[in-house]
Amino acid sequence: MDYEEYLKNLGELEKSALLETFNIGASHAADALSQMISKPVDVKVPDLKIHSIKHLPMELGEDIKAVVYVGLGKDFNGHAFFVTDIQDAMKLYDIIMGQDLGNTKEMDEMAKSAIMEVGNILISSFATALSQFLGIIIDQTPPKLAIDFLPAVLNFAIIDIVQYCDYVILIGTSISVDEIEFHEKFFILPRLEDMKKIVNKLMEGL
């Protein structure tokens, strides 16, 4: 089977199965974030794309972003990223701290720590949902935060993955806090043998 060809032409049924899986993770993330900031939080995954890695920076924007990274291992090897615009990151920090929007003018160490924890909760929730969907164990490294131009942040992961697989799972993530919505991106770059696990599981349901 040509797995890359299958991924590139993934049908609506298979996409729906993955969306349902990641929305389960989104629900768990919303609960965890609500506990973290003591405010109602809603997290949804409205869309999912299988995207060529080489076009990823163009899809997400090549300007400076706040990026949370978690490495994936054990039964599923790859890289997971949560990407947000700097302005969104500062607004989200204002909400977390109960401050007026616009109060935060730069990403100091406290703001970086808070956004890294938000990203870690989201990535962990999505990875746990994926592990349950596949019936495997997915280990996660401690999170790291980078504030830089996106291509520079992604470079090491792309070099690692592109030799195995040219496609990435790109997940649109909608976060609503205090009725303020943020539209961010979460994505996974798995190695080919681990992308095959997703494809095989999807095909089992057809």
Q: Domains of the chain (ranges plus CATH)? A: 3-204 (3.40.1550.10)
C-alpha span between 68 and 114 (Å, rounded): 11
pLDDT recorded at residue 94? 95
pLDDT recorded at residue 3? 58
pLDDT recorded at residue 25? 94
Token pair of 202 as six digits: 């999807």
pLDDT recorded at residue 2? 60
Task: Looking at 1-149, list the stretches that DSSP marks H as alpha helix, in order from N- to C-terminal side.
Answer: 3-8, 12-37, 56-60, 86-97, 109-134
C-alpha span between 146 and 86 (Å, rounded): 11
Token pair of 28 as six digits: 């768990």
pLDDT recorded at residue 52? 81
Sequential pLDDT tens for the chain (206 residues): 565 666 667 778 888 888 899 999 999 999 999 999 999 999 999 988 888 887 787 788 878 999 999 999 999 998 999 999 999 999 999 999 999 999 999 999 999 999 999 999 999 999 999 999 999 999 999 999 999 998 888 888 877 777 666 778 889 999 999 789 999 999 888 887 887 788 788 777 64
To which H or E segment does residue 66 belong? strand 64-74
- Residues 112, 113, 117, 120: what is their CA dihedral angle, to the nearest 10 degrees? 60
β partners of residue 83: 67, 185
CA geometry: angle 45, 46, 50, nearest 5 deg: 85
pLDDT recorded at residue 42? 96
pLDDT recorded at residue 143? 96
pLDDT recorded at residue 7? 67
* pTM for this model (two decimals): 0.89
SS3 105: coil
Question: Residue type for 32, please?
Answer: A
